[in-house]
Structure 1
């Protein structure tokens, strides 16, 4: 990956935050290396990313897709509940475009609303799904189950903040809630048709894929 691109990314302080183990001092993308590497190795054509503070994950996915010779895009779903950052579609295009990325399609929806749109109906054969929205057990479950029927045969699924429970004040000090994605991950680990691996970095990232029928 171009070092200048990483320098540009880290020139924005908000893109060094939100628990992906980034480090500006040595241009270390942290878990971003994993997100980028998966797109380079698996060459996904259709990615879906649910939630992102300032776009670190969708940008790493889009960068990987761009650096491949195959065409691909990232459907990015975020209702902009934490603040108004994602509410201006023109500014969104400018933001992603400033990093040389024109293959991210932002959608100002919760997953519950997005599944009722024509855009959802048109999505098919999703190769990579990244779940990083409202970090509760119930929402992670809804996010995954909404897109599970649309996953391609060899699809990869990420869950961020998946290994620890902790209180979050991202929606304001008077709206504290508890991260509980780990509870849903524990449930998924009971399924015999999934292969699951945890990365115990900060609050954790979990990666899973569906096993071929003959391996179940």
Structure 2
């Protein structure tokens, strides 16, 4: 460790930190850019852009002339999951605002991008696409002609052995053909020195790995990467707390509104009960009035009936008297004159 070239580049503090399985390797990425000083960096598989943005930031902060290319469909796959345009649009917006002059995002499949790069032009290739054995092998072999004489290839997820990941299997094969070393933290990162011209610091790490002395270097970058992962976790927790506070405030407002509504409903119930009571009293009064009216009507019917009876009897008596008088007159007229 005494002769390991430490530098400030290892202490990079990412400007943009999003949840990613790559965060723990950002210090090494920055140190690698400083040591390799690549003219071109090509990344196969970018997703949210943690590694891509780390390369861009390292290039910018170190004042290098490197061009950084991110190649991805931004549609997802069976390992990363499938998603819509939101991730691409968010990353594209950030890249354009911060790194438009040194980087480019190519939305296409990896093999479709091959014609846009000259043979022997890529100094640093990052393979982080579909993680099956066949896919990783195809990515490496198809891009091998594009690599320069000093090229370095890094493979992410070399320690993952589940869900059909085959990077570890291909890494175990290809790392025997070139000088190499591997970080075992943060899902693993294999570093392959493909070019014939080796940067001394990288050749030294490969030699240490071959001699079994790489563990202190692995531990160093693991600790540095852990600081970034903790920073991301803190930001995520703070964002969660902010969301929680917003939710508490929203629920508090909703609770107050519900309380006011309950008071309003209670008042409406009281008002309703009062209206029902008044309606019942009004109905009772109407019933009493109706009963009184019924009694009065019955009395009137009896009076009318009595009057009708009385009137009939009087008329009959009058008619009888008049008939008797007429009869007496008629009898007198019909009586002989000598008997009158």
Task: Report TM bin, short chain.
Answer: 0.7 to 0.9
The structure 2 residue matched to 1:50, chosen from 27, 44, 48, is 44
Q: Given that residues 12 and 27 in structure 2 are in contact (C-alpha distance below 8 angstroms), is that contact kept between their aligned partners in structure 1? A: no
C-alpha distance in 1, partners of 2:96/2:147? 28
User: RMSD across aligned C-alpha pairs, in angstroms?
Assistant: 2.6
Deviations 1:69-92 (A, max 9, x none): 331111111011222347867x65
CA contact (8 A) 2:158 2:189 kept: yes
CA gap of 1:4–1:212, structure 2 versus 1, over 3 A, is closer
Instruction: Provide the residue aligned with 2:191 in structure 1.
Output: 207
Instruction: Find the counterpart in structure 2 of residue 197 from structure 1.
Output: 181
Q: Which has the larger radius of gyration?
A: 2
Structure 1, gaps ≥5 residues long: 23-29, 168-177
Cα gap change, 1:112/1:179 in structure 2, threshold over 3 Å: closer, same or farther?
Answer: same
Q: Residues 195 and 86 of structure 1: is their aligned pair in 2 closer, same or farther, counting only changes over 3 Å?
A: farther
User: Any conservation in 2 of the 1:77–1:106 contact (CA below 8 Å)?
Assistant: yes
The CA distance in 1 between the partners of 2:86 and 2:154, in whole Å, is: 22
Report the CA distance shift for 1:39/1:86 in structure 2 as closer, same or farther (over 3 A).
farther
Q: Which residue of 2 aligns with 1:63?
A: 57
Cα distance, 1:212 vs. partner? 3.3
* TM-score, scaled to structure 2: 0.49
- CA gap 1:4/1:41 in 2 versus in 1, 3 angstroms: closer
1:101 matches 2:95: no
1:190/1:119 Cα in 2 relative to 1: closer, same or farther (>3 Å)?
Answer: same
1:56 CA displacement: 0.7
Shift of residue 94, structure 1, vs aligned partner: 1.8
Report what 1:32 is aligned to: 26
Of 155, 158, 161, the match for 1:165? 161
SS in 1 for 2:84: coil
Distance across 2 between alignment mates of 1:208 and 1:92: 28
Query: Counterpart in 2 of 1:179?
Result: 165
Once the two structures are TM-superposed, the CA of residue 42 in structure 1 deviates from its matched residue by 1.3
The answer to whether the 8 A contact 2:120-2:145 is kept is no
The structure that is strand-richer by fraction is 1
- Secondary structure of 2:30's match? helix
User: In the alignment, which residue of structure 2 is the partner of 1:145?
Assistant: 141
Question: For 2:176, what is the secondary structure of its paired residue?
Answer: coil
Find 2:19's aligned residue among 1, 6, 16.
16
Residue 128 (1) aligns with residue 124 (2): yes
The answer (yes or no) to whether the contact 2:127–2:156 under 8 Å persists in 1 is yes
Q: Choose between structure 1 and 2: higher helix proportion.
A: 2
When the two structures are superposed, what TM-score results if normalisation uses the length of structure 1? 0.74
Q: Is the 8 A contact 1:164 1:182 kept in 2?
A: yes
Q: 1:97 to 1:114 in 2, by over 3 A?
A: closer
